[in-house]
Amino acid sequence: MRYCTQCGAASEANDAFCAQCGGPLGTEGAGRPAGTAPGGSEAPPAYGLSGGYGGAPIAPHAGPGQLADWGTRFIGFLIDFALLFVLSIVGVMLGRVSVALQVIIDLVVFAASVYLAIQVGQTGQSPGMRVMGLKCIGIQTGQPIGAGLGFVRAIAHIVDSIICYIGWLFPLWDRNRQTLADKIMSTVVIVVPKQAFSLTPPA
């Protein structure tokens, strides 16, 4: 059992943030989650996380460490999407020359999609997310969720799409700014410093 440093509410031992107010929990050995300010003199920024699906208002906007807003996430998505889209267009154009070439390009697009999903899992960031200063982390750990779960999260986005893409819009009103895939995977996307564009995670 750990206790919130802001409101004092008790939380699960392995949670990183208070389910009541989203404040940071007392550090019991566990390191500060990635994305939060290191060694601040005041209370470190929390994500403004709240449990469940309704009730409290959407978390306030602020700088690094806070939940990212929908617009920023959408632009990040568009950057990744544009990469794959350009590849697909090349595939369609080559398809007029040879079907085999198109199949090869389609496989490359699929492999690239998987690679991006694994990047998000391993580092918390895809190329678009690095440019926009976004990071996907597990709610409980505050850390990236790992390659395997990153792949599963990408699959879980099917749920966002199957209901006419409404799931992708959830961060517009959800108080933890989660898509349905985020809810399934217990992840949130937070604001981190922006980086230069790179297809692979910087060393």
Partner 1 sequence: MIATARYEVDCHSLRVPAVGLVFGGIALAHLPSSVGIPCPLRVLTGVPCPFCGLTTSVRALGGGHLSAAVRAAPLGLVVFAAAIVALLGLMPERVRLPIPLLAAAVMAEWVFELIRFHVL
Binding positions for partner 1, rule: CB under 8 A: 53-55, 57-58, 61, 69-72, 74-75, 78, 161-166, 170-175, 177
What's the closest the beta carbon of residue 7 comes to partner 1, in angstroms?
Answer: 21
Residue where the block lists tokens 């154009």 = 93
- Degrees (nearest 5) of the Cα angle 173, 194, 201? 105
Q: Are 113 and 154 in contact (CB under 8 A)?
A: yes
What's the closest the beta carbon of residue 193 comes to partner 1, in angstroms?
Answer: 17
State which residue, 98 or 110, has the beta carbon closest to partner 1.
110
State which residue, 141 or 186, has the beta carbon closest to partner 1.
186
What's the closest the beta carbon of residue 161 comes to partner 1, in angstroms?
Answer: 6
162 Cβ partners below 8 Å, 6+ apart? none
And the tokens for 22?
A: 């989203």
State which residue, 3 or 74, has the beta carbon closest to partner 1.
74
And the tokens for 107?
A: 């496989």
What's the closest the beta carbon of residue 72 comes to partner 1, in angstroms?
Answer: 5
Provide the Cα torsion 102, 103, 109, 110; round to 10°. Answer: 160
Contacts 24+ apart (CB under 8 A), 75-81: 75/128, 75/132, 76/126, 76/128, 76/129, 76/131, 76/132, 76/134, 77/128, 78/128, 79/127, 79/128, 79/131, 79/132, 79/197, 80/116, 80/126, 80/127, 80/128, 80/129, 81/128
State which residue, 77 or 115, has the beta carbon closest to partner 1.
77
State which residue, 2 or 130, has the beta carbon closest to partner 1.
130
What's the closest the beta carbon of residue 167 comes to partner 1, in angstroms?
Answer: 10
AA identity, residue 153: R
State which residue, 130 or 183, has the beta carbon closest to partner 1.
183
What's the closest the beta carbon of residue 38 comes to partner 1, in angstroms?
Answer: 26
